[in-house]
Structure 1
């Protein structure tokens, strides 16, 4: 089990729910060398992957939306894994529905969304895939609620996510 210092976790929790999640997932990133590969995937449990997926999802959507998330190589990690289903099981049903809606768009346009692009082509994606706009806006409006629900679940089941030392 991945270890996190008690003081580190307490400090992160005092800074807010997003910092609490980041405190845990930073430990995951350190263990996997900041990179998800076939070699590093087995180093995390299913619960840990889901929490890391939430962090990646949140950070990417907040910064650049679904186009950025997919262009940065996380489309498969989010949409091909049971991330949406687990969000529902963790009590974040609205986020689950949002991810399923985005997944439909992703699956319908996967080849184009994932193809290598120049910077100009990447920026043009935002106009080409305006279909994501409504989902991004919904996420931005509810992000604090979603993060609170995820952090609450993690806090209630901490032993599934880290070993506190």
Structure 2
């Protein structure tokens, strides 16, 4: 079981909901050696993967949007797994709808979205895939709300996410 200290959680909670989530996801990244592979995937539970997926999703969208998320190799991790369904089950229904809407675009254009690109080709993706723009804007507007809801769920179900060391 992944372990985090109560002291780290208390300190992070004072810094904000994103810092609180980061305590868990940093621990997950240590357990998997920083890489999601066929060998490391079984080291985390479904709940832990869902929280890690949220952190990855949030970070990628905040920095570079859906095109970056897919180009960095996370398309399958987000869209081919029950991430959207889990967000709904965790009480983040609007985010679930947003992910399903992005998945529709991803599914239609997956091969092109995932192909290797030069830096110039990557930058051109933002014009080519303007269909993501509205979804990215919605996420950026509601990110704090989504993060607070995810953090609240984690706080109410700590034992599902890590063993808390006093």
Common topology (TM > 0.5): yes
**Normalised TM-score (structure 1):** 0.99
SS at match of 2:64: helix
**Correspondence for 1:102:** 102
Give ranges in structure 2 of 5+ residues lacking alignment. Answer: none
Give CA-to-partner distance per residue, 1:58-98, whole Å, 9 cap, x none. 00000000000000000000000000000000000000000
Count of aligned pairs: 165
Q: After TM superposition, what 4+ stretches of structure 1 lie above 3 angstroms from structure 2?
A: none
Q: Work out the CA distance in 1 between the residues paired with 2:34 and 2:127.
A: 31
Q: CA deviation at 1:154?
A: 0.2
Secondary structure in 2 matching 1:91: coil
Q: Which runs of 5+ in 1 are unaligned?
A: none
User: Hey, what does 2:40 align to over in structure 1?
Assistant: 40
Paired residue for 2:71?
71
Partner of 2:42, secondary structure, is helix
Distance 1:5 1:83 in 2: 26
Aligned-pair distance for 1:113?
0.1
Partner of 1:4: 4
Are residue 16 (structure 1) and residue 11 (structure 2) matched? Answer: no
Alignment of 1:121-132 (within 5 A): 121-132=121-132
Cα RMSD (Å) of the superposition? 0.4
